[in-house]
Structure 1
Amino acid sequence: MPPSPPPMPAGPPSAPPDAWRAAAVALLNLSGLGLGYALLRRWVAMAGCLVATGLLLLVALPADADGVPGAALVGYAVLLLSAAGHGAVAGLRTRLTWPGRAPLALLLGVLLLAVPAGSALWYQDAHDEAVEQALLDRLDKADRLVAAGGERPFTAAESDYRSALEVYRDLAEHHAGSRAARKVPDSLRTYYTTVGAAYGHQDWCTAVEPLKYLRTMPDSLPKEQLGSLARWPDDRLATSLYECGEQGLAAGEADWVTRFGDLLDTFPDSGPATKVAPAVDAAVQKAEKAVRGDEPCAAVEQLRSLNTRIGDLSKSSGDTGGTLTKAAGRAGRSGDAGEYACGVSQYKDGDFDAARKTMEQFVSDNKNDKNQGRAKKIAIAAEVAQTLPAAGKKLPTTASGGSISVTVKNDSPDDITVLYTGPVTGSFTLKGCGGCKAYSLADTLLTGFKPCHGNRDYPQRTISLPVGTTYFVHKPNGSSTATPASDTAKLRPGYIYTECAYTTRTLGSGY
């Protein structure tokens, strides 16, 4: 039998130690492709390197803004270093299948290091671009929030405006070198014009709050990002505060004081601030003119409101020139003087109770006014007309006296005030009659009942009145529950008339 061939060796025969060969295997394994193991014919280890590299590519590609998870990078780096170390140990005594010389393999390993290095550089560029696109997408979403907010009222859109502003701030502060950050100034200009759009539409009152909000922007963004925008709202807000206040002043609304107050406090040296005093003065003049118009009472009320509100504005704004204080004083004086025209209007409209109160107040407030005498007469006539409406058909004059004597006697234990109006108007008081008493209702119903009859010395007063109809009202003094008595006397020449006041459950009269 022929001899059997010798068994095949399990692997390449051991070779003398060679550091260059070990370094070459290590460098080839660092490529991530396991090429060092290929030259040693260690196919399983090579496959492990390829699988690890493939898994890393699956995780990393396509490149996005989040990048590769740190754990994956650390794991892969540990694997490459382990493969390099293990390959170096294995290659120290194992011959290479190719190339035959270790220096050539070492050179090949160095050249192949360009693969992972180039891949890393390419991936970094792709990742950077992905980050840029993500930042641009954030900017675009913020811009769309602003655009959508411009279609809604400011209060409804404010939260979206703040969200967009936070994106702009983050891009400017934390991504300053990005393309998105370079676009932030343009987005901010659009932001300002959108938030402050009501100003462009001359919707002054609506523009105030958005413009106030925009003035807070320097607290939220770097100054270099804002530039001239930091002062953009100032003139617009000053103008809006004035125009809104002027509109409220003209309409008789209350918030004009707040608007003008904000203007004078925030922009005291601005052009709009200089127009506040003239606007207030013009409003006073307009109300003064309206006192002579069809609605004098409304004008008086407006003047008194102006007096109070201008005074409040003067105190809150530091009225150094005193112009507001002067305007407030004139409004108050004109309001007091205008009470006369208001009372006349109320009298003509048949609102006698209001006319009496207004004229009494006018007399009290204007001691030296030329209309005080007639105002007293109108107050008396208005009180008479409250009991006898026919007495209020004509405004009383300041005339006095007449050719007919009328004596008024008081057959009552109470002091009484006698009011009369007609061709002349006046009033006087009679003291109570000592020893007189109130009549019972039954007494007044008896045939022949006649008060002020007999030899008693009744308190009395004689007045002279013209021919015509005079209306009398007798009211007890000091009683808020007694009902005034009344009488209508048609006075004719050649007669002497007597009025008698007496007391029953209510006050009666006769002549």
Structure 2
Amino acid sequence: MPAESNPAQAVLAGLLNLSCLGLGYALLKQWRWAAVCWVATAALLLVALPADVDGVPTGVLVAYGVFLLAAAVDGARRGLRAPLALGGAGAAPASTPAARRLALPLALAVVLLAVPVGGSVAYGVARDEAREQSLLDFLATADALVKSGEGQSFTSAEHNYGKALTAYQDLGTNHAGSRAARLVPDRLAAYFTTVASAYENKRYCDAVPALKHLRELPEKVDRALLTGLVGKADDPLAHSWYECGIAGLGAAGSETTAGEHLNALLSTFPQSSYARQVEPTVRAAIRTKSAGVTGDSADPCTAVEELRRVSTTVGLLPEATFAAASRDAGRAIESGDFGCGVKQFKAKSYTDAVQTMKDFAEKYPTSSRAAHARSIAIAAEIADEEPAAGRQLPPAKAPGGSRMVMVVSNDGPGEVELLYTGPVSGRVTLKACGSCTAYRGSLALNAPKIKACQGPSSKYPKTTLLLPAGNYHFLQKRDSSIGSYASDKASTHKIEAGYSYTNCLYVTSGFGF
């Protein structure tokens, strides 16, 4: 005869099977099926432990949940009519109502149900801790990226800095409740200190790109994470722009960079104390460098190049503010150019002196020193051929008093240029003598005595010089293409008061037949 149906027992067996330990089967002495539950639970533990950030794969959880439900349903089915021996010493008599007989097992089932529920809660806690630890590891990785930039220039470390900043932003915004996120503001403060280290070490030019980056942090990171950092880079950046721009005044290759730094300061922080210092500091720098173009120990050629570079930088700054500084630099450069030419002349660097003084006269035609510069250029050109002409500078002003006439004639082929220096300096050009030829030189066989300018006076191109008394050096320069033996020829003449003079310019062939 079939066993009497026992719904309470069926419920008990089903609930016990939900314990994950197959206890419903054990109650029914279905050991084989209980072992199946044990194996399934062991497999789940192998997959789930230790807990990690991602937790147990969804497919595994779904499969295990379906398995438990199936075990519960099967346990309830089997327990509905299965005989259940709960007797033994102190067992309830058979006349006890079924509900009372099953009260203790049912309470046990409820307690045992706490095993999977409690296990799930504990696993969730472990998984949350794993997630926290993973975020802390992520934070540590970002910290290491920042630390790797210590001692490097900002441009070299910029890539790693960018990765670290992205990590801090992600932690602080996408994982705001985590322990790692609560550490982000302090990490950003440390990040600021590391990136700004060049400024703290007074490497102002290196600090500029780093501080510009730090000033832009509010555009890249949530402001709520930048505790005390918003605006903190402003004053150091203004200071660095000032120091780097001023340090670049006159430095070779820094003309444009210095102008860019100072312009950035003036436009970004126009009311700062550093911006107010730029104009007076620039003018002071011009005065200091201007001192290098005068005095016996001065090096005007070097100083004027520095001044020219300063002038280039000043030309990049706002004209309305720096017009006076630009004029100061221009006047100093003019003095430096002239002083450089004088120094080259005295150092017997005549070729350089000629070029410098010619350039000066062309660049500053209205200068009070333009005429003197031309005289020095002429004297240097003569001294390059006749060193005696370089013993002293030509006078800055022509002497007063009477002047003597010197008529100069060209008795030679081709056009000739005559340079002279003494109490006055100058240069004149005489046209070619069409019928004139070169005289045979003293090395030619049976060479007759040279009698230049002995033909009719009208034959020779002429010019008249009015010269104060004194000693003069002359240099005639004739185009070498005419084939003369000597295209340049130097000579010395003494001009005495009360006399008139003639000077005949001719050429010799050196050899003749």
Q: State yes or no: 1:52 paired with 2:51.
A: no
What one-letter code is carried by the residue in structure 1 that aligns with 2:438? Y
Distance of aligned partners of 1:92 and 1:441 in 2 relative to their CA distance in 1, 3 Å threshold: farther
| Cα distance in 2 between the residues matched to 1:494 and 1:326 | 53
Report Cα offsets for 1:391-416 as digits up to 9, x if no partner. Answer: 11211113447787654322235453
Superposed, 1:67-466 pairs within 5 Å as 67-98=55-86, 101-249=101-249, 251-252=251-252, 253-254=254-255, 255-293=257-295, 294-314=298-318, 322-397=320-395, 398-400=397-399, 406-412=406-412, 414-433=414-433, 436-439=435-438, 441=440, 445=444, 446-457=447-458, 458=460, 459-461=462-464, 463-466=466-469
CA apart distance, 1:490:
5.3
Distance of aligned partners of 1:112 and 1:467 in 2 relative to their CA distance in 1, 3 Å threshold: closer
| Cα distance in 1 between the residues matched to 2:432 and 2:147 | 85
| Cα distance in 1 between the residues matched to 2:47 and 2:169 | 32
CA apart distance, 1:424:
4.0
CA apart distance, 1:36:
0.9
Distance of aligned partners of 1:324 and 1:492 in 2 relative to their CA distance in 1, 3 Å threshold: closer
Q: Secondary structure at the match of 1:231?
A: coil
> Is the Cα–Cα contact under 8 Å of residues 20 and 103 in structure 1 kept in the other structure?
no
Report Cα offsets for 1:430-454 as digits up to 9, x if no partner. Answer: 4444x54222556994221221124
> Is the Cα–Cα contact under 8 Å of residues 404 and 467 in structure 2 kept in the other structure?
yes
| Cα distance in 2 between the residues matched to 1:338 and 1:210 | 39
Seq. identity, %:
44
CA apart distance, 1:134:
2.1
Give the aligned partner of residue 90 of structure 2: none
Give the aligned partner of residue 28 of structure 1: 16
- Larger mean CA deviation between 174-183 and 56-65 belongs to 56-65
Distance of aligned partners of 1:49 and 1:480 in 2 relative to their CA distance in 1, 3 Å threshold: farther
| Cα distance in 2 between the residues matched to 1:196 and 1:181 | 23
Distance of aligned partners of 1:182 and 1:131 in 2 relative to their CA distance in 1, 3 Å threshold: same
Tell me how large the CA RMSD over aligned residues is.
Answer: 3.0
> Is the Cα–Cα contact under 8 Å of residues 353 and 386 in structure 1 kept in the other structure?
yes
> Is the Cα–Cα contact under 8 Å of residues 307 and 329 in structure 1 kept in the other structure?
no
| Cα distance in 1 between the residues matched to 2:467 and 2:182 | 98
> Is the Cα–Cα contact under 8 Å of residues 403 and 467 in structure 1 kept in the other structure?
no
| Cα distance in 2 between the residues matched to 1:481 and 1:185 | 88
- Larger mean CA deviation between 273-282 and 404-413 belongs to 404-413
Distance of aligned partners of 1:40 and 1:257 in 2 relative to their CA distance in 1, 3 Å threshold: same
Q: Secondary structure at the match of 1:410?
A: strand
CA apart distance, 1:467:
4.7
CA apart distance, 1:238:
1.6
Q: Secondary structure at the match of 2:474?
A: strand
| Cα distance in 1 between the residues matched to 2:174 and 2:273 | 40
CA apart distance, 1:348:
0.9
CA apart distance, 1:295:
1.6
> Is the Cα–Cα contact under 8 Å of residues 21 and 103 in structure 1 kept in the other structure?
no
Q: Secondary structure at the match of 1:427?
A: strand
CA apart distance, 1:503:
4.4
> Is the Cα–Cα contact under 8 Å of residues 406 and 465 in structure 1 kept in the other structure?
no
Q: Which runs of 5+ in 1 are unaligned?
A: 1-12, 507-511
> Is the Cα–Cα contact under 8 Å of residues 410 and 501 in structure 1 kept in the other structure?
yes
| Cα distance in 2 between the residues matched to 1:505 and 1:329 | 55
| Cα distance in 2 between the residues matched to 1:442 and 1:250 | 56
Give the aligned partner of residue 91 of structure 2: none
Give the aligned partner of residue 8 of structure 1: none
Distance of aligned partners of 1:241 and 1:182 in 2 relative to their CA distance in 1, 3 Å threshold: same
Give the aligned partner of residue 16 of structure 1: 4
Q: Which runs of 5+ in 2 are unaligned?
A: 88-97
| Cα distance in 2 between the residues matched to 1:375 and 1:487 | 23
Q: Secondary structure at the match of 1:275?
A: helix
CA apart distance, 1:493:
8.5
Aligned residues: 486
Distance of aligned partners of 1:479 and 1:213 in 2 relative to their CA distance in 1, 3 Å threshold: farther
Give the aligned partner of residue 28 of structure 2: 40
Report Cα offsets for 1:239-281 as digits up to 9, x if no partner. Answer: 1111111111154533212222332343333332222222222
